[in-house]
Chains A and B, each alone.
Chain A
């Protein structure tokens, strides 16, 4: 290959930035055009059907600019780093990012099939739906990173929902769980609910670390125990397995509040769940990448024997993993109770498998040691978008299940072929 034909990383970054500016500009022009047409006398035809697409294009442009500029800056003045543009490298790139590309294609397909999908409201809805799942997936990823799993996640969600809701009912509600319970500060029941989950998490960790039990079995046992315990609690008189309702508004606010809401202007605002999920994403990213504990998690998952030889306290680390994971499931359960203003012992059913599937699609290896927070975000988003989008274009729920299953199989097959090549 001749010198001039090679694409240096610096040049690539520059080209990407320019592309981003162009895309962003198209978006901005469309926004202005659309607004002026609207002011001039109402939207019709193609302008009506466009919905918020111009804004999406603008956002996409800004994203490309940021990614391009970061690259450009990193390689500035570096002539030696070259992008491999051989057919093989391109094929590898497509394989490595196959699942994201498939997602993009699917989103475009849904947008074409149903133009109403191109609305900011839809995007916010999707993110809000993804938020509780994200927190649960972030918990479960720790157990996957040590080549384990956690089947008890679902029932812990239910447990936390029931426990927190049972103590946060309005004083004048007829069917109170604890009729004589005084008004507790909101954080007390929340802490109790999460604390109870952490205790069961400790049991998970103890079974796995102490008896070297496979996490599949240990957490299956705990799953059954937690469900039984939760049902017993739920069945206490006077409640007798009635759905818990009449939840205090100072509790439901943590699941239902929307920022920047303006009912007059028909702006739905941003649900509080999204910033909450962002906080947890940041915290877990920090834990995995910036702490000794995080490095130990990867090490135990990468090679447990070598971790022992390196002097890592494997017992303690495994305990911490399961306790931390359960705390996150607890948070998920509390948010579910607040969002729906109620709880039953069946809350959270099936969440653990969704969370595991999302992690695996996001590149977390079931063999342990491999997985990034960014991958988990993508995995969770893929499942939420698919589910929401398919519903949006009116595909029936049974077909949705089939498609979801196919995605899991294809994503993992792609991921494994990536490792086999090396």
Chain B
């Protein structure tokens, strides 16, 4: 038996228009904890999905226990001794905990009936082994998020796997539970199992892992023993890339006139953002940075009237603004381009015209009756201005590329003539050329005096496009950086400040 239980050599994975993984290597030693690090979108999850059979790699090889394997699906991965704790948990809420654990491999009586008694005992034994005090018969939906996380870990252990992938396992755990998890990990290690540990939390990584592999933009940066690393070293290796000329030159002046003041804004949901304070100036692009889970989307959706606010104030042009609902936000000249284009942006089965006009229908109606000719011509004009490529205005939006869909959505909000435009991940999943066009549009909007808030998880975009960068960390406002002081290391330091 070789030294490595897993070797992933030169793995590549392409998505339409994107190179998600480019020759990535990961070698995991038997009985070790191997941390996998990188910014959002560095390709960590994609790499793990290749290993777990959710994606199929386009290039490279996976060697498990010295044998080259092609992993077609998750079931096969589990049979080969690879199990995964997913970042997002999807328990079957209305079934008992034990059924969630043994789903698909229930103990049977005579091959016909499920042996509930045995399943209960098996679950009890499993929980005892990792010192977990949960009744196997309670419904999964009654457990807290952290209990569910621990059950999920127990499930991974139950597969008797050689390799356990843990994707952000501590994101919903308290400090006590984290140390409990670390005890479990130590135990698994001593049994000779290997753990692949994905996390953004530097202290955890340095404490628990034996080796660290760092990825960046879908490429392999390197692997180091954890003992040779420090937080600063990890950050610089995670972000260390040169900034090429991917952004249009700035051609406008930002004013210092404040259009919106946000003071001590706290969400109704106690797990969401707290005590956020900032000013937004006319004609600026305010970047909003942070890691996944920093509650940036929640913050802007609350400002847009989509989420509850418990306390704090917002004033627009000196007048108080309550953010009751979207109609209210539109009345106060706020527009929001949402993060999930498919889920909350486009109306796939409707035409480009309908998609463009939908937020400003009343402008084209008298007494509720629409002027369809005017709708079409204005929609066409606006899309032409943004250089949207469409076969014709009656085509369904679902047949356009992501970049063109995004421009239609931009046109939708520009027709509402907003003074404040919030863009949540405006260039996610679109190709480089369309990105540049959207950047140009953003700059010309800023030049017109509109205030733009841009959420971005892409570091170069955040630094390249923003006039100021506000960084959030775990729901807190961690700091605002002027353009001159904003760099990758500084943003990363603020983003992890409250973790």
A residues in contact (CB < 8 Å) with B: 289-293, 295-296, 298-299, 302-303, 305-313, 365, 369-370, 422
Contacts and interface: CB of A to CB of B under 8 A. Distances in A.
Given A298-B350, A302-B349, A290 B359 contact: no
Nearest to A367: B349
Contact of B365 (A291, A299, A311, A422): A291
A289 B371 CA distance: 10
A306 B361 contact: no
B362 A299 contact: no
Nearest to A298: B350
Nearest to A303: B347
Nearest to A313: B327
A210 B377 CA distance: 37
B346 to A, nearest CB: 7
B231 interface: no
B338 interface: yes
B429 to A, nearest CB: 17
Given A309-B306, A309-B338, A303 B346 contact: yes
Given A295-B358, A309-B336, A309-B338, A302 B399 contact: no
Contact of B354 (A293, A295, A309): A295
A296 B369 CA distance: 13
B460 interface: no
A306 B399 contact: no
A305 B329 CA distance: 16
14 contacts: A289-B372, A290-B369, A292-B361, A292-B362, A296-B361, A298-B350, A299-B347, A302-B349, A303-B348, A306-B347, A309-B326, A369-B347, A369-B348, A422-B399
B76 interface: no
Contacts of A307: 347, 358
B312 interface: no
A293 B365 CA distance: 10
B344 interface: yes
Contacts of A292: 361-362, 365, 368, 370
A301 to B, nearest CB: 8
Interface residues of B, number: 30
A306 B346 contact: yes
Nearest to B301: A309
B350 A309 contact: no
Contacts of B81: none
A298 B343 CA distance: 16
B330 interface: yes
Contacts, number: 75
A298 B369 contact: no
A310 B349 contact: no
A327 to B, nearest CB: 16
Nearest to A296: B361
B412 interface: yes
A295 B370 contact: yes
B350 A302 contact: yes
A307 B306 CA distance: 12
Interface in B332-386: 336, 338, 343-350, 354, 357-359, 361-362, 365, 368-370, 372
A309 B346 CA distance: 10
A299 B344 CA distance: 11
A323 to B, nearest CB: 15
Interface of B: 304, 306, 326-327, 329-330, 336, 338, 343-350, 354, 357-359, 361-362, 365, 368-370, 372, 398-399, 412
Contacts of A308: 306, 326, 344
A314 to B, nearest CB: 10
Given A295-B354, A302-B350, A369-B349, A290 B372 contact: yes
A375 to B, nearest CB: 14
A310 B326 contact: yes
Contacts of B350: 298-299, 302, 369
A156 B292 CA distance: 51
A311 B347 contact: no
A173 B81 CA distance: 86
A369 B330 CA distance: 24
| Interface core residue of A302, A303, A310, A369 (most chain B CB under 10 Å) | A310
Contacts of B348: 302-303, 369
Given A298-B347, A302-B347, A311-B330, 15 more contacts: A289-B372, A291-B365, A292-B368, A295-B357, A295-B358, A298-B354, A299-B350, A303-B343, A303-B347, A305-B344, A306-B343, A308-B306, A308-B326, A310-B358, A369-B350
Contacts of B338: 306, 309
A365 B347 CA distance: 14
B306 A299 contact: no
Contacts of A310: 326, 358-359, 412
List 4 tightest A-B contacts by C-beta distance, closest first: A302-B347, A311-B326, A310-B359, A305-B344
A32 to B, nearest CB: 44
Contacts of A291: 365, 368-370
Contact of A311 (B327, B357, B369): B327
Nearest to B329: A311
| Interface core residue of B304, B329, B330, B350 (most chain A CB under 10 Å) | B350
B335 to A, nearest CB: 10
| Interface core residue of A292, A296, A309, A365 (most chain B CB under 10 Å) | A309
B368 A309 contact: no
B412 to A, nearest CB: 7
A290 B374 CA distance: 12
A236 B159 CA distance: 69
Contacts of A296: 361
Contacts of B349: 302, 365, 369-370
B370 A290 contact: yes
Contacts of B357: 295
Contacts of A295: 354, 357-358, 361, 370
A308 B338 CA distance: 11
A311 B359 contact: yes
Contacts of A299: 347, 350, 354, 358
A33 B153 CA distance: 88
| Interface core residue of A295, A306, A308, A312 (most chain B CB under 10 Å) | A306
A308 to B, nearest CB: 7
A293 B347 contact: no
Nearest to B338: A309
A370 B354 CA distance: 13
